[in-house]
Amino acid sequence: MDGPSLITSLDSGLRGAAIAVFLIVAISILRQGYRRPVVWLGAALSIGAAAYAICSLPGNAHHRTAWFAPVLALCAGNVAVFWLFTRAAFDDSFRPAPWHALLWLLLVACPLADLFGAGLADNQTLEIVRRIVPVGLVLLALAQTIKDWGADLVEGRRRLRLFILGAVLLHSAVSATVDLSLGPQHVPPPLHLLNAAALAAIAAVIAVTALHADLDIVFAGPAAALPAPPAAVSPPQEPVDPAVLAELDRLMTVDRLYRQEGLTIGALAAKLGLPEHRLRRTINRGLGFRNFNEYLNGHRLADAKQALADPSQAEVPILTIALDSGFQSLGPFNRAFKTDTGMTPTEFRRSTAGRNGG
């Protein structure tokens, strides 16, 4: 077998393996349930990755017919799915909006129009936009991956930030660099093979992660952060120390440490004399929180609600109460308060004054 045919055979074999693994992972993810955005976005991302393995086949662009439209759509829109997946995976409050679907449709529209002979690829301005937007979405996904990484209390989710998303971001950066420098029609076979190898490696990492149950942790809802009996095949989890929980509760309810400006989980761990990873596990498994900031805000909001309901503090400005509770500005306080109670701080104060006969 000569060099080019060997490269082609290896390329096809690696892509076939990657496609199979991506589809199996998608099915595995969907078994978690359909209602949570992170589940169906994760499955869509995996299916889109399989579609990309087909779309990026050497010479594929010259042999596309109408039947290829669904595969092309999944491939072209997958960068938007990737960005949305990072938001859903790392922000428990994220909910998709209609404009997200519109963004996906816009990414898909131009490649489909070209497939059916619209000739949009001849428009240089549109072509530049088509290349820049995916890079921008990858950068947004990277920002979402880094954002609040230090406050994440779910160990499996922290590992996924590094392994899965890091691998996908690296592959996206390599692909974008090759396309921007050489153009998708001028990539030599060895680079196509490298692309296929990267896809297969990413698929393998995801599969290994799934075997270690990290995907179950990420795709489970917030309630799953609470401790559960370990499966027979799983290693026993380190039990949560009641003494640590008691001391943590004292620091929050008596010392009101949550009022400290810029309090980090590292600083709190040092206060308790614990390794940071052990404190993360204690708050996550012992108290059910998936994010350290949410844990702090729970105490801050309870403090603020107590102050707002206190008749003796009826004249204290809401900004003062927010700052005294540990919030650093009024905007985040108002948003967190509205999410927690369904009312603004002013409405809450008015309602409690009415109940107290004020």
For the chain, 358 residues long, the average pLDDT of each consecutive 10-residue run is 73 92 89 82 93 83 76 93 92 90 91 77 73 87 87 84 72 64 63 82 80 63 44 53 93 94 92 93 91 94 94 92 93 93 93 69
pLDDT value at position 119? 64
pLDDT value at position 8? 82
Residues 6+ apart with CB under 8 A from 201: 167
- Helix ranges restricted to H, 92-221: 98-115, 124-146, 155-162, 164-182, 189-211, 214-219
pLDDT value at position 195? 79
How far apart are the C-alpha atoms of 57 and 295, rounded to whole Å? Answer: 47
Would you say 265 and 279 are in contact if contact means Cβ atoms under 8 Å apart? yes
Structure tokens at 253: 């309810």
Q: Going by CATH, does the domain composed of 3-225 fall within 1.20.1070.10? A: yes
pLDDT value at position 308? 94
Cβ-count burial 157-169 (b if 16+ within 10 Å, e if not): bbebbebbbebbb
CATH superfamily name and code, 291-358: Homeodomain-like (1.10.10.60)
Residue ranges covered by each domain of the chain: 3-225, 240-256+266-289, 291-358
Q: What is the CB neighbour count within 10 angstroms for residue 321?
A: 22
pTM of the complete model: 0.80
pLDDT value at position 216? 62
Would you say 218 and 156 are in contact if contact means Cβ atoms under 8 Å apart? yes
Query: In a 3-state reduction of DSSP, which class is residue 126?
Result: helix
